């Protein structure tokens, strides 16, 4: 009789080992952190004895669930912004709030909250990607869960690094600190192909190979990402990553939603693990990942919750069920991904996808004791049929709920017994979480109340407030005016021709000003579009005092290159009204009495307002504005325009 630390008996055991052995009733013998033996109850009890023997009547005993992709500290951002497109959600809300609030303290608290939620959902191991990953690791190890902790690297500044060089240096230190820890596997996470340069991808891959650790990355999550990579790199996402030798590392690829059969074969050939995140893909309408096809050719596909801000919970039971339902529903084949396969994806195959199958993922002697008990005696899971042994898998996938998990053990230590968390004080953590929510609420209340602060929040370099003296005259014969400009003695410093597409955003409160999204198409001498430029300008109310009546002083408050699409800005700023203006502009930069003026000949196409001549110059002081106004009026006379500056009613409405 061999003495062990713990025996759990009288359980319905799903081992999820290579032959999917089931023991019912079964027992497991655990020696410290290691599974010593698992088998029929009678066999185990005749060979092993222990001081602690647990009777698991009415329960399924199985390996702990593996959450293959998540961002655990984001529990503190859960429900902050929903029902948005990925770019608006990420660039408009998540990243600005993260820049403001994500600190080591935030990350630790968010991780602890996530651990509590995950333990309750039967998760024993998760694969994380965030910032301050050292603090994620600290908190996780303190709670006693197993995790792959991946430090994020992005091409722009992050909450824990001013540059990617800093992130790479942080990663090395972090990896050296945690390598060989019994619970934490450090990893590196170049965030995604569209947020990383090829250099970042290559350097991250080199670090992963050097330290022999997994590399965690988001790949082919949206159609947009694929289209952008194809247009920039001339190939889809997976071949592009392969070209950068990414798959020389042990890759954990989250999502892989938009990949073709060739890319699926390439992932298999390169032994990449994939993390499927059904809730997140559905909620963000990213698409449906070809999981059935990937599984058929033998890719290891694990299941993940993704971050709690895009899900919004960490319930693996929901993900498991969605995985099988999505595969069936999208293929029209009810035999696709049977319950048994899906349970394996959430355990052993998940461990393979994370490259940690030697440690965890199945109840196999020699592996760490990471296991859960699921109570199947509740009304929603009865009665129990046993004529088919696989019906236990069906019970887990189609009927069990996260809250049926009663006991959770990681590395031989109980983290939850009889629904009670043993290493966390949930109430206290939730109270602290609410404090953060209050502070973030205040920040967002303030930001959302001003167009300017919303503009600043999405970054980009801004030019500060400026004024312009503007004089406008409706003209009937643009050709004659252009001739007049060219034949005058005015030195022409520059000449441009463009087609402008403006979209004005109006807001209920006129004090907010209006926002203009402008796309300039530069037209060459040969009348071809040679270049595009997009800009955002926040326009303030025009000032009419202190300068001659005919001249207007316009106020342009902030100005930034528009790096996102018009659709993005519309969804992010949510204006009460928009207006489209299209015009053809011939622009001359002239010098008059040592002062630079732009003379624009603007032919409006939409709306059809005819042609306007515009004389304008930038100004910063009242005195300067007065002088420039006088000069502009003189210029008008030089151009033989003797009629008064006119602004018609429909033009004013446009302003």
Smallest distance from Zn ion to CB 219, Å: 11
Q: What is the DSSP letter of 411?
A: T
**Counting contacts by CB under 5 A, is residue 98 touching Zn ion?**
no
For the segment 574-633, give every residue that binds Zn ion (CB under 5 A).
none
Cβ proximity to Zn ion, 279 vs 503, nearer residue: 279
Rounded Cα–Cα distance for residues 44 and 58 (Å): 19
Cβ proximity to Zn ion, 26 vs 304, nearer residue: 304
Q: What would the x/- binding string for Zn ion be over residues 176 to 195, using CB under 5 A?
A: --------------------
Cβ proximity to Zn ion, 225 vs 306, nearer residue: 306
34-42, 301-309, 422-430, 594-602 -> range binding Zn ion (CB under 5 A): 301-309
Smallest distance from Zn ion to CB 122, Å: 21
Q: What would the x/- binding string for Zn ion be over residues 251 to 290, using CB under 5 A?
A: ----------------------------------------
Closest CA to 188 of 137, 221, 151, 238: 151
Structure tokens at 143: 């709670």
Do β-strands 65-70 and 413-417 pair in parallel, antiparallel, or remain unpaired?
A: unpaired
Q: Are 100 and 456 in contact (CB under 8 A)?
A: no
Q: Which residue is nearest to Zn ion (CB)?
A: 306
32-40, 105-113, 291-299, 302-310 -> range binding Zn ion (CB under 5 A): 302-310
Q: What would the x/- binding string for Zn ion be over residues 455 to 494, using CB under 5 A?
A: ----------------------------------------
**Residues touching Zn ion, count (CB under 5 A):** 1
Smallest distance from Zn ion to CB 255, Å: 7
Closest CA to 187 of 218, 209, 163: 209
Rounded Cα–Cα distance for residues 368 and 595 (Å): 79
Cβ proximity to Zn ion, 276 vs 585, nearer residue: 276
203-211, 299-307, 440-448, 570-578 -> range binding Zn ion (CB under 5 A): 299-307
CA distances from residue 142 to 108, 422, 454 in whole angstroms, order as listed:
10, 12, 38
Structure tokens at 386: 């046993």
Cβ proximity to Zn ion, 306 vs 407, nearer residue: 306
Cβ proximity to Zn ion, 68 vs 473, nearer residue: 68
Number of other residues whose CB lies within 10 A of the CB of residue 194: 16
Q: Please report, for the chain, how many H helices and E strands are present, in that order.
A: 22, 25
**Counting contacts by CB under 5 A, is residue 306 touching Zn ion?**
yes
Smallest distance from Zn ion to CB 304, Å: 8
Burial of 232 (0-12, 13-18, 19+ CB in 10 A): exposed
Rounded Cα–Cα distance for residues 402 and 339 (Å): 16
Q: What is the DSSP letter of 488?
A: S
Place of tokens 């033996």: 37
90-98, 304-312, 372-380, 562-570 -> range binding Zn ion (CB under 5 A): 304-312
Q: Are 54 and 372 in contact (CB under 8 A)?
A: no
| DSSP class per residue in 52-88 | EEEE-TTEEEEEPEEEEEE-GGGGGGTTSS-S--HHI
Rounded Cα–Cα distance for residues 310 and 431 (Å): 22
Smallest distance from Zn ion to CB 67, Å: 11
Cβ proximity to Zn ion, 272 vs 615, nearer residue: 272
**Counting contacts by CB under 5 A, is residue 221 touching Zn ion?**
no
Smallest distance from Zn ion to CB 306, Å: 5
173-181, 306-314, 504-512, 575-583 -> range binding Zn ion (CB under 5 A): 306-314
Structure tokens at 503: 């979209």
Rounded Cα–Cα distance for residues 443 and 440 (Å): 5
Cβ proximity to Zn ion, 350 vs 575, nearer residue: 350
CA distances from residue 375 to 196, 362, 408 in whole angstroms, order as listed:
45, 19, 12
47-55, 268-276, 305-313, 360-368 -> range binding Zn ion (CB under 5 A): 305-313
Cβ proximity to Zn ion, 117 vs 306, nearer residue: 306
Cβ proximity to Zn ion, 129 vs 409, nearer residue: 129
Cβ proximity to Zn ion, 221 vs 500, nearer residue: 221
**Interface with Zn ion (CB under 5 A):** 306
């Amino acid at each position: 009789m061999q003495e062990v630390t713990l025996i759990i008996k009288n359980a319905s055991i799903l081992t999820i080992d290579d032959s999917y052995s089931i023991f019912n009733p079964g027992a497991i013998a655990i020696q410290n952190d290691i599974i010593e033996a698992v088998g029929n109850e009678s066999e185990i009890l005749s060979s092993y004895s222990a001081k602690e023997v647990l009777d698991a009547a009415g329960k399924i005993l199985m390996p702990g669930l593996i959450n293959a992709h998540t961002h655990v500290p984001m529990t503190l951002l859960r429900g902050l912004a929903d029902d948005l497109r990925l770019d608006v959600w990420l660039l408009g809300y998540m990243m600005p709030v993260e820049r403001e609030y994500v600190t080591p303290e935030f990350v630790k608290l968010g991780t602890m909250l996530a651990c509590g939620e995950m333990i309750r959902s039967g998760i024993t191991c998760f694969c994380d990607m965030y910032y301050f990953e050292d603090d994620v690791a600290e908190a996780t190890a303190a709670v006693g869960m197993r995790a792959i902790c991946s430090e994020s690297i992005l091409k722009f500044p992050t909450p824990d690094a001013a540059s990617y060089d800093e992130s790479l240096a942080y990663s090395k230190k972090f990896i050296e600190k945690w390598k060989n820890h019994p619970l934490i596997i450090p990893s590196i996470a170049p965030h995604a192909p569209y947020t990383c340069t090829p250099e970042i991808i290559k350097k991250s891959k080199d670090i992963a190979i050097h330290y022999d650790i997994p590399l965690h990355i988001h790949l082919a999550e949206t159609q947009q990402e694929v289209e952008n990579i194809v247009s920039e790199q001339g190939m889809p996402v997976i071949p592009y990553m392969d070209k950068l030798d990414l798959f020389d590392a042990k890759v954990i690829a989250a999502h892989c939603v938009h990949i073709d059969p060739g890319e699926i074969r390439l992932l298999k050939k390169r032994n990449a693990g994939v993390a499927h995140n059904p809730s997140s893909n559905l909620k963000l309408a990213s698409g449906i990942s070809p999981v059935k096809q990937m599984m058929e050719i033998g890719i290891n596909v694990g299941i993940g919750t993704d971050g709690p801000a895009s899900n919004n919970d960490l319930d693996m039971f929901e993900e498991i069920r969605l995985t099988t339902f999505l595969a069936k529903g999208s293929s029209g084949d009810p035999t696709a991904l049977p319950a048994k396969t899906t349970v394996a994806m959430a355990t052993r195959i998940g461990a393979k996808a994370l490259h940690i199958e030697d440690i965890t993922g199945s109840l196999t002697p020699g592996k760490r004791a990471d296991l859960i008990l699921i109570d199947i005696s509740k009304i929603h899971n009865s009665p129990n049929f046993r004529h088919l042994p696989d019906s236990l898998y069906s019970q887990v996938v189609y009927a069990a709920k996260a809250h049926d998990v009663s006991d959770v053990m990681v590395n031989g230590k109980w983290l939850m017994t009889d629904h009670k968390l043993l290493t966390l004080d949930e109430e206290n953590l939730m109270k602290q979480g609410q404090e953060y929510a209050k502070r973030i609420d205040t920040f967002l209340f303030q930001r959302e109340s001003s167009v300017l602060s919303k503009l600043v929040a999405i970054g980009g370099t801004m030019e500060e407030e400026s004024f312009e003296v503007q004089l406008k005259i409706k003209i009937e014969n643009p050709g004659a005016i252009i001739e007049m400009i060219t034949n005058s003695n005015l030195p022409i410093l520059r000449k441009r021709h463009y087609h402008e597409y403006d979209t004005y955003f109006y807001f209920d409160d006129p004090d907010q000003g209006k926002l203009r999204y402008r796309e300039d198409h530069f037209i060459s001498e040969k009348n071809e579009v040679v270049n595009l430029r997009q800009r955002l300008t926040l326009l303030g109310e025009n000032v009419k005092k202190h300068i001659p009546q005919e001249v207007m002083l316009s106020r342009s408050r902030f100005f930034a290159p528009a790096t996102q699409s018009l659709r993005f800005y519309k969804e992010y700023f949510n204006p009460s009204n928009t207006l489209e203006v299209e015009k053809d502009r011939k622009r001359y930069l002239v010098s008059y009495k040592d002062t630079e003026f732009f003379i624009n000949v603007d032919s409006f196409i939409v709306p059809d307002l005819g042609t306007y001549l515009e004389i304008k110059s930038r100004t910063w002081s009242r005195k300067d504005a007065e002088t420039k106004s006088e000069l502009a009026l003189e210029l008008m006379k030089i151009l033989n325009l003797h009629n008064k500056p006119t602004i018609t009613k429909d033009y004013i409405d446009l302003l």
